């Protein structure tokens, strides 16, 4: 291949390095107003009254909106269980549940007015933990707190547990994780009396379009959403930008002026989504030689005050509850539980890191108790063609699971490394080293929980001079989608990468392409680009044949026509002058999956990525500090389209997963107010914490994927937390069943 699989320069690198990309913070329109949000500061209560009179008097204020101003106040991506603005008589369900909005000529005036909005709340006792919520004596939302349930029922679990040589019965807990994207949430809305246009930072322009249309009761044709450059999403900009955009849109609708609503970091911390905290109980049965015979798991996800994406996140917790192993007897329950805290939702891994931590910890614990090496127990249970996942999906091809285990073993020189660690620990009193494995699976695409959204569009347009624009329905948020799309277009068209511009998505151009989530962009948008580019290439070839050319070879920026080297631009000039159509759309839809939602069995996803990580950590037993020293990680992602981009994803994912495993924590006070609200006390990994990362790939091609590709965006994080946690447990000889493993947690365990 000419480009696919080769080293290229990221196509948006230069504009980003030079500060020329337009982010929402940079985007301005003449006469633009600024928005501010009013929070109740009370986690649970009934809103008795709102008084906006003082706020309206602040000079420069153009509008102060309350629930009365919202045409349709119901909101929510899966169930309509939230409001745009809390109505009087209705419930405030978390401390940053918006009660009013302000638009003013300056940010300062908007914030000053926001502080002058007065309201009365009759406080109710807040429900702050999963355990408290499960009592259901105080109901946060709807009819009961444990409002959502998903299950898998396969085989006879109780019998298999009875027949097991070893049963591991353990409980696990995991905490919040904040996305910590560099750019906070933000949108600019402009209602010109005819069309509502939204520009903003987002992963899913079509979600924003749908929600703005519903809230303002406008037809979809009157709502146009254009994604601006997005400074990181990590799942945090899946549904949340809809909630930001509807606020900006409402203010613009009321004032008929453009309104910019860019969140301050503290608003972003308090109001917007995080990773779900979880509690789970696992009972896993093993044969004497380490084969997993049965999996029984009950998992609770703390979804906060509103369900948002939880029902979909739960689907991934469910299907990933057994990690990457072939298990025949499976009984899994996942519950989504309301509490009076910030709503939780999508975060890289999407409900899987919580359960992977549990299952991978158990694999290590079983290996220890059975006297088997942790690598060997994983090899023994690993998936391969012909075996089935925990949902009973029999895998036919593209299963490089065992190869990833073997690649890490080899690259780390595992046997020697183990001995070195042993030697080190013999000599060292206060510093202890440990090695930890993880072996995880990732179902690429939305899968059977969201097949109606699993399709994507692309437009490829070759201009008269041979330069090319590509537009996809998916978004770039840092993960490198633009470069991958440009590479695919060029591979097919035979043009130069530098000649391609990937445009920002615009809902008025392309059909709803579903969300940019579930690591699906390479497969979905990539296929759509490939299809569109192929149509154009075929038409050009046909034209050249008509012109009398006998041999046509498609190169890299140069086509060879009857032995003559012709630059792509010249080929196109010829075609363009002969009125050949040079713009096309492509559409890719998922192969249909068969899944029984009642038993949770069947084909859960179109394909799977497999990942193995080995981490070497060093723990200081005096301070409790864990340092990750080196990581070896291998992913089977099918054909690697952009090797440098893929390595970048792995590095970022490992480090983000390390933050989740070791340091990141959100805390609330006893009244349910978030006490960690900014980066002054929310700890994320620093550059000095980054270990040496050895990234490798196995390329078991996926026949449906563009050039055989699968997906990597999320697995790059998922392998990291369980591997690091297992390494800490290995270093200290005690099992950690709670994340994050902060220094305090380490010292508590050792005391
Ligand atoms: N990488 C960067 N740099 N920034 C991001 O916001 N999001 C992650 C992952 N990698 C993200 C990222 C998440 S949550 C997903 S679902 C995938 O990228 C989405 O992109 P893909 O479909 O192209 O893999
Ligand atoms: Mo990613 S959590 O699927 O946006």
- Per residue, the 3-state secondary structure of 384-442, as one string, reads CCCCECCCCCECCCCCCHHHHHHHHHHHHCHHHHHHHHHHHHHHCCCEEEEEEEEEEEE
Specify if 633 maps to a domain.
yes
Supply the range of the domain harboring residue 71.
31-124
Q: Which ligand is nearest to the CA of 179?
A: 1
| C-alpha 540 – ligand 2 centre gap (Å) | 38
Distance of CA 492 to the CA centre of its chain: 29
pLDDT given for residue 619 in this prediction: 98
| C-alpha 653 – ligand 1 centre gap (Å) | 9
Are both 657 and 523 inside the same structural domain? no
Specify if 144 maps to a domain.
no
Annotate 284-350 with DSSP letters as a single string. EEE-TTS-EEEEEEEEEEEEETS-TTHHHHHHHHHHTTTTTB--SEEEEEEEEEE-SS------TTT
Phi, psi of 685, deg, nearest 5? -60, 140
* Index of the ligand 2 atom closest to the CA of residue 203: 4
Task: Determine which helix (DSSP H) or strand (DSSP E) holds 532, and give its type and residue range.
Answer: helix 521-546
SS3 per residue for 231-288? CCCCCCCCCHHHHHHHHHHHHHHHHCCCEEEECCHHHHHHHCCCECCEEEEEEEEECC
Domain final residue, candidates 573, 589, 605: 589
516 close to ligand 1 (CB < 6 Angstrom) = yes
| C-alpha 446 – ligand 2 centre gap (Å) | 10
Tokens linked to 635 = 């992913």
Identify whether the C-beta of residue 215 lies closer than 8 Å to the C-beta of residue 252: no
Specify if 243 maps to a domain.
no
238 close to ligand 2 (CB < 6 Angstrom) = yes
* Index of the ligand 2 atom closest to the CA of residue 236: 4
* Index of the ligand 2 atom closest to the CA of residue 233: 4
Specify if 267 maps to a domain.
no
pLDDT given for residue 140 in this prediction: 98
235 close to ligand 2 (CB < 6 Angstrom) = yes
Taken in order 710, 485, 657, 406, the sign of the CA dihedral is positive
Are both 368 and 430 inside the same structural domain? yes
Residue of minimum CA distance from atom 10 in ligand 1: 713
Are both 341 and 477 inside the same structural domain? no
Are both 513 and 635 inside the same structural domain? no
| C-alpha 229 – ligand 1 centre gap (Å) | 14
| C-alpha 252 – ligand 2 centre gap (Å) | 29
Distance of CA 392 to the CA centre of its chain: 25
| C-alpha 198 – ligand 2 centre gap (Å) | 22
Specify if 337 maps to a domain.
yes
| C-alpha 329 – ligand 1 centre gap (Å) | 33
Annotate 118-154 with DSSP letters as a single string. EEEEEE-----SHHHHHT-SS--SSS-SEEEEEEEEE
Distance (Å) of CA 530 to CA 493, 534, 645: 9, 6, 19
Are both 569 and 651 inside the same structural domain? no
183 close to ligand 1 (CB < 6 Angstrom) = no
* Index of the ligand 1 atom closest to the CA of residue 179: 6
pLDDT given for residue 591 in this prediction: 87
The total number of structural domains that make up the chain: 3
Nearest to 103 by CA among 41, 45, 38, 43: 38
* Strand 146-154 to 329-338 pairing: antiparallel
pLDDT given for residue 454 in this prediction: 92
Residue of minimum CA distance from atom 7 in ligand 1: 234
Are both 403 and 435 inside the same structural domain? yes
Regions of the chain with pLDDT less than 70: none
348 close to ligand 2 (CB < 6 Angstrom) = yes
Nearest to 168 by CA among 251, 85, 284: 284
Domain final residue, candidates 536, 558, 589: 589
Distance separating alpha carbons of residues 413 and 123, to the nearest angstrom: 60
Specify if 736 maps to a domain.
yes
Task: Report the CATH number that the domain containing residue 80 is assigned in CATH.
Answer: 3.90.1170.50
Specify if 184 maps to a domain.
no
Are both 650 and 690 inside the same structural domain? yes
Per the listing, tokens 């780390």 go with 412
Could you count the other beta carbons within 10 Å of the beta carbon of residue 583?
Answer: 13
Helices 374-381 and 401-412: crossing angle, nearest 10°? 160
Phi, psi of 677, deg, nearest 5? -125, 5
pTM check: above 0.85 = yes
Distance (Å) of CA 49 to CA 68, 108, 457: 12, 25, 47
pLDDT given for residue 442 in this prediction: 98
Phi, psi of 603, deg, nearest 5? -85, 105
Identify whether the C-beta of residue 605 lies closer than 8 Å to the C-beta of residue 593: yes
Are both 443 and 483 inside the same structural domain? no
Taken in order 622, 627, 629, 630, the sign of the CA dihedral is positive
477 close to ligand 1 (CB < 6 Angstrom) = yes
End-to-end Cα, the chain, rounded Å: 58
Helices 401-412 and 414-427: crossing angle, nearest 10°? 50
315 close to ligand 2 (CB < 6 Angstrom) = no
Burial class (CB in 10 A: 0-12, 13-18, 19+), 275: buried
204 close to ligand 2 (CB < 6 Angstrom) = no
711 close to ligand 2 (CB < 6 Angstrom) = no
Specify if 20 maps to a domain.
no
Are both 655 and 521 inside the same structural domain? no
Task: Report the CATH number that the domain containing residue 371 is assigned in CATH.
Answer: 3.30.365.10
Are both 408 and 294 inside the same structural domain? yes
Are both 411 and 466 inside the same structural domain? no
Domain final residue, candidates 106, 124, 142: 124
Are both 602 and 721 inside the same structural domain? yes
Max alpha carbon distance in the chain (Å)? Answer: 84
| C-alpha 235 – ligand 2 centre gap (Å) | 4
């Amino acid at each position: 291949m000419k480009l696919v699989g080769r080293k290229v320069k990221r196509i948006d690198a230069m504009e980003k390095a030079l500060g020329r990309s337009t982010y929402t913070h940079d985007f301005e329109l003449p006469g633009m107003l600024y928005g501010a949000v009013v929070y109740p500061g009370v986690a649970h209560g009934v809103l008795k009254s709102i008084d906006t009179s003082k706020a309206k008097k602040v000079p420069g204020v153009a509008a102060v909106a309350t629930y009365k101003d919202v045409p349709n106040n119901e909101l929510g991506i899966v169930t309509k269980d939230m409001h745009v603005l809390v109505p009087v008589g209705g419930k405030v369900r978390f401390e940053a549940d918006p009660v009013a909005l302000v638009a003013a000529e300056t940010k300062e005036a908007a914030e000053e007015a926001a502080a002058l909005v007065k309201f009365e709340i009759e406080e109710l006792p807040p429900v702050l933990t999963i355990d408290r919520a499960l009592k259901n004596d105080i109901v946060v939302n709807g009819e009961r707190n444990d409002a959502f349930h998903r299950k898998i029922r396969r085989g006879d679990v109780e019998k298999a547990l009875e027949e097991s040589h070893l049963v591991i019965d353990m409980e696990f807990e995991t905490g919040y994780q904040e996305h910590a994207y560099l750019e906070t949430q933000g949108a600019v809305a402009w209602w010109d009396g005819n069309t509502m246009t939204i520009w903003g930072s987002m992963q899913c322009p079509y979600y924003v379009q749908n929600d703005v249309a519903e809230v303002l009761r406008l037809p979809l044709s009157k709502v146009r959403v254009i994604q601006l450059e997005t400074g990181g999403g990590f799942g945090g900009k899946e549904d949340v930008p809809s909630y930001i955009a509807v606020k900006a849109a409402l203010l613009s609708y009321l004032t008929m002026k453009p309104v910019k609503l860019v969140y301050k970091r503290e608003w972003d911390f308090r109001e917007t989504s995080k990773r779900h905290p979880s509690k789970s109980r696992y009972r896993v049965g093993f044969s004497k030689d380490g084969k997993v015979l049965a999996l029984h798991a009950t998992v609770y996800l703390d979804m906060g005050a509103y369900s948002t994406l939880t029902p979909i996140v739960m689907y991934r917790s469910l299907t990933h509850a057994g990690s990457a192993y072939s298990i025949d007897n499976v009984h899994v329950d996942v519950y989504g539980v309301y509490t009076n805290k910030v709503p939780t939702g999508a975060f890289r891994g999407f409900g899987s890191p919580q359960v992977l931590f549990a299952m991978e910890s158990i694999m290590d614990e079983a290996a220890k108790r059975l006297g088997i090496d942790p690598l060997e127990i994983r090899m023994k249970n690993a998936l391969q063609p012909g075996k089935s996942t925990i949902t009973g999906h029999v895998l036919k091809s593209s299963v490089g699971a065992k190869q990833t285990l073997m690649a890490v073993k080899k690259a780390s020189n595992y046997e020697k490394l183990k001995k070195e660690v042993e030697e080190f620990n013999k000599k060292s009193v206060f510093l202890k080293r440990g090695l930890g494995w993880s072996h995880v699976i990732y179902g690429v695409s939305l899968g059977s929980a969201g097949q109606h959204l699993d399709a994507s569009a692309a437009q490829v347009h070759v201009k008269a001079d041979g330069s090319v624009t590509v537009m996809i329905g998916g978004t770039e948020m840092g993960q490198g989608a633009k470069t991958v799309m440009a590479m695919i277009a060029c591979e097919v068209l035979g043009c130069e990468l530098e000649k391609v511009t990937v445009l920002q998505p615009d809902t008025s151009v392309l059909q709803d392409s579903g969300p940019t989530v579930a690591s699906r962009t390479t497969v979905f948008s990539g296929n759509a680009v490939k299809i569109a580019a192929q149509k154009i290439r075929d038409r050009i070839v046909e034209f050249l044949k008509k012109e009398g050319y006998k041999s046509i070879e498609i190169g890299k920026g140069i086509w060879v026509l009857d032995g003559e080297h012709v630059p792509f631009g010249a080929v196109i000039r010829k075609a363009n002058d002969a009125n050949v159509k040079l713009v096309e759309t492509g559409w890719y839809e998922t192969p249909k999956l068969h899944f029984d939602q009642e038993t949770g069995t069947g084909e859960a996803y179109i394909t799977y990525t497999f990942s193995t990580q080995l981490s070497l950590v060093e723990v200081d037993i005096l301070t409790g500090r864990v340092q990750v020293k080196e990581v070896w990680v291998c992913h089977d992602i099918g054909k690697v389209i952009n090797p440098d981009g893929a390595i970048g994803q792995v590095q970022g994912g490992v480090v983000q997963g390390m933050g989740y495993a070791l340091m990141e924590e959100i805390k609330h006070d006893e009244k349910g107010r978030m006490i960690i609200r900014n980066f002054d006390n929310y700890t994320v990994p620093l550059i000095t914490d980054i270990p040496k990362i050895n990234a490798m790939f196995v390329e078991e091609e996926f026949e449906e994927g563009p050039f055989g590709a699968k997906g990597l965006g999320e697995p790059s994080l998922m392998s990291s937390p369980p591997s690091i946690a297992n390494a800490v447990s290995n270093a200290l000889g005690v099992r950690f069943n709670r994340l994050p493993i902060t220094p305090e947690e380490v010292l508590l365990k050792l005391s």
